[in-house]
Structure 1
């Protein structure tokens, strides 16, 4: 048995044991099992949200975190004991679960809360090789954490040394990466390695470029599986990325294969030693809003968020500029962590502890839960829900503003079936090592698209501002 499979079985065993132990308690407490990808600091913040839920409703939600959510859930489903609620770090398994009838729809308090409307993800089951819709759209998931992409992070002080303001056009961005001060050139904080799955920072790049180069219509056609990988639009996005990286310092692309995005984030800031500060190792970081968590530990104590008034930390971002003549500045790529409620396979007409699970789903979509989450993460928890709260940190306020004033397009690889997304991630790694293989890589990706299960592709469209 592979190591990942053994770990998945062990995690499912822990989940089931937790339920059994709860039933033997001297003072039985209503319980739910909750599974997600968060561990460490993120798990601690989410656990605080679940503790608040318990205080409000008297229902204990027992959380278990594991980085390989898809594998663990598959094992749990096969054993007939999925968790009551799961938080998925990407939405690409949703359609498969809906097709198989494994999720409970969220009719009720969640769907009648006007503030939660923007968070609901509605799907219909699909069948057959062409992915024919087999029913009406129902809400099956709630986006409980939204991450802004389509941005580039930088240190304003360091960038000014190169004599150029943040770029407003793609040509200016390419020009910026060629700027030098003596032997030092503007470098990208490029990193492809990840504990869970490598290559996803590169897929973010391709997706962002295609969105801002070819526009929303082609992007949505691609995310539905209706646009060939060797189409002019898709191929051009890879080539545009390659041209940008070649304009930067040599060796950046290849070195990124062995660097994690957390390590790359450290390079954005000067290193402080007893002898003084050394120059940063890189200057531009194309990363989602979750990267702020990695930046904060490397800031001076005086730059920490406070409650005494707005602060301006020594990092900020500029949006991905339009590429070409069309104005695509209103488009933003985003990703979501989504909560779903599993049906009890032994109860076709309902779910195990459905009333309790529905209460938790309603709570996770509520402003109360979002408030606790923001407090626990120092305002790093963003939501599609309602109006943005007041932020003391002007950079975080700008992130929240962009989420509420732009057309939000889901991360493309999150909408693809897992097999397609995995192949995309691997192709990115090969491309960085051998860009001359692009035509072959795109042909291989398109073969997977053509032979895959069309019914598993999500057809979620970009969402304009409310």
Structure 2
């Protein structure tokens, strides 16, 4: 079974301002040259007095975030280190999702871990090694995040992990120039999206492009399509029941969600613009799938915010640029279901210095410092100063996450048992796009659910 780490996850960005006294300079952890030092907020060390004297203390933190993305994390820890005298020891590991369980079960966990899935968090809690979050952390989460986010860090009624970064999946990429030249409007409802699709198809082109090839993880983009439609057609409560298997995978609601995705993905008049027929969706890599937007052979591509990194160097990603994205609408204009992912800071120690650092990571202070030294990172922390975001796609993501109408739900396959979420779901979705019926697909996935 392929590791869930194979399925791309990325969070997005913004910046803020804080107090006075200490300026910690850092640079971007991204791959493009970018001097972020000028954007580093000024941090008042007085706010760290609550943590006491931590000089000479060390806190270890373990994550799946490796070079070069890890630099933005280590830079964001500098205010805590400089103001408290503590040392943060960061360790990034591509095998994190396997090794953190091994280490926890062996009694050799780090002080803190950045956990990318609620399902993995639950597994870690099951080892008996995870500590409940300090009251200060819980209070910060109540203040800065919505109840849905706190729920994902809670297991059996006990709160363990504050949210960290976040990512947005409910997006459709498009060409702003094509929309302007043809008088197209960004759709506000699913019906309007289908009307726009028909209007584009009437001009003799296949408007949508898609690709699901991803090595052992082939098929995962369809899981996102289905989850988005499950959330839109049936609402957040039914979505939650479906993810937890209170609603069977082969239920009428589930089949309807996959069929809704199929209205686009399996319609030969709609796909696969610039790439081939419907079956070419299975052989086109997800990295290449949206590129035909740039040459005009495709107009629409549903993919997460991280997809911005797949366009060639020099591509302007903005509302007035070569390519941009709009929110995948709900059934009506007032509904704002939002599918995404995120990370959680989980502690395996309750030493004072660990509690102090864990608390810092749950503050608006850290959120704004982290955003100031990052490209392609954002958080659902309401203390984030979104007005300081310079990257347009990051700002779009931040605005969506902070929209009071938004109803956020975590990626469903990342919460399901591995035999389903990162195995049967991927494989059966691939069979579905190449001709297997919806009912057979959902039946096969249901049969894979652990008894």
TM bucket by the smaller chain? 0.7 to 0.9
Aligned to 1:101: 128
Aligned to 2:83: 56
For residues 253 and 372 of structure 1, what CA distance do their matches in structure 2 show? 45
CA separation of 1:329 and 1:56: change in aligned 2, threshold 3 A: same
- Unmatched tracts of structure 1, length 5 or more: 5-27, 126-132, 270-278, 305-310, 343-350, 452-466
Q: Does 1:399 align with 2:421?
A: no
CA separation of 1:292 and 1:223: change in aligned 2, threshold 3 A: same
Aligned to 1:248: 270
SS at the partner of 1:291? helix
CA separation of 1:362 and 1:236: change in aligned 2, threshold 3 A: same
**How far off is 1:410 after superposition?**
2.0
- Given that 1:341 and 1:357 are in contact with CA atoms closer than 8 Å, whether structure 2 keeps it comes out as yes
- Given that 2:153 and 2:160 are in contact with CA atoms closer than 8 Å, whether structure 1 keeps it comes out as yes
For residues 254 and 396 of structure 1, what CA distance do their matches in structure 2 show? 33
Question: 1:347-406 deviations in whole A, cap 9, x for unaligned?
Answer: xxxx2x632322222122222221222122247423333354313455543432221221
For residues 223 and 164 of structure 2, what CA distance do their matches in structure 1 show? 23
Query: Size of the alignment, in residue pairs?
Result: 387
- Given that 2:264 and 2:270 are in contact with CA atoms closer than 8 Å, whether structure 1 keeps it comes out as yes
For residues 222 and 194 of structure 2, what CA distance do their matches in structure 1 show? 17
Aligned to 1:329: 335
- Given that 1:36 and 1:69 are in contact with CA atoms closer than 8 Å, whether structure 2 keeps it comes out as yes
Aligned to 1:315: 323
Q: Does 1:365 align with 2:362?
A: yes
Question: 1:247-282 deviations in whole A, cap 9, x for unaligned?
Answer: 42343554343444443354433xxxxxxxxx2453
Length-normalised TM-score, structure 1:
0.73
**How far off is 1:49 after superposition?**
1.7
Question: 1:200-251 deviations in whole A, cap 9, x for unaligned?
Answer: 3221110001111122232122122100111111001111212212242343
For residues 261 and 373 of structure 1, what CA distance do their matches in structure 2 show? 29
SS at the partner of 1:248? coil
Question: 1:379-436 deviations in whole A, cap 9, x for unaligned?
Answer: 7423333354313455543432221221222222233233321122232222222333
Question: 1:41-79 deviations in whole A, cap 9, x for unaligned?
Answer: 422222222344322333333323334432122222343
Bigger drift between 387-396 and 404-413 goes to 387-396
Aligned to 1:185: 206
- Given that 1:29 and 1:60 are in contact with CA atoms closer than 8 Å, whether structure 2 keeps it comes out as yes
For residues 124 and 138 of structure 2, what CA distance do their matches in structure 1 show? 20
CA separation of 1:237 and 1:330: change in aligned 2, threshold 3 A: same
Q: Does 1:445 align with 2:442?
A: no
CA RMSD of aligned residues (A): 3.2
For residues 132 and 311 of structure 2, what CA distance do their matches in structure 1 show? 38
Bigger drift between 179-188 and 94-103 goes to 179-188
- Given that 2:168 and 2:341 are in contact with CA atoms closer than 8 Å, whether structure 1 keeps it comes out as yes
- Given that 1:120 and 1:140 are in contact with CA atoms closer than 8 Å, whether structure 2 keeps it comes out as no
For residues 95 and 284 of structure 2, what CA distance do their matches in structure 1 show? 20
**How far off is 1:183 after superposition?**
6.2
CA separation of 1:193 and 1:364: change in aligned 2, threshold 3 A: farther
- Given that 1:36 and 1:65 are in contact with CA atoms closer than 8 Å, whether structure 2 keeps it comes out as yes
**How far off is 1:193 after superposition?**
3.6
CA separation of 1:206 and 1:143: change in aligned 2, threshold 3 A: same
**How far off is 1:124 after superposition?**
6.1
**How far off is 1:291 after superposition?**
2.9
For residues 265 and 69 of structure 1, what CA distance do their matches in structure 2 show? 30
Question: 1:431-453 deviations in whole A, cap 9, x for unaligned?
Answer: 222333x32332232223361xx
CA separation of 1:30 and 1:333: change in aligned 2, threshold 3 A: same
For residues 98 and 79 of structure 1, what CA distance do their matches in structure 2 show? 14
- Given that 1:312 and 1:394 are in contact with CA atoms closer than 8 Å, whether structure 2 keeps it comes out as no
Q: Does 1:286 align with 2:284?
A: no
For residues 310 and 139 of structure 2, what CA distance do their matches in structure 1 show? 37
- Given that 1:85 and 1:339 are in contact with CA atoms closer than 8 Å, whether structure 2 keeps it comes out as yes
CA separation of 1:74 and 1:397: change in aligned 2, threshold 3 A: closer
Equivalent residue in structure 2 for 1:77, among 104, 119, 126:
104
Aligned to 1:236: 256
SS at the partner of 1:365? coil
For residues 43 and 389 of structure 1, what CA distance do their matches in structure 2 show? 23
Q: Does 1:110 align with 2:137?
A: yes
SS at the partner of 2:77? helix
Bigger drift between 99-108 and 202-211 goes to 99-108
Aligned to 2:8: none
Question: 1:145-188 deviations in whole A, cap 9, x for unaligned?
Answer: 11122221222112345553223333443344452597643232
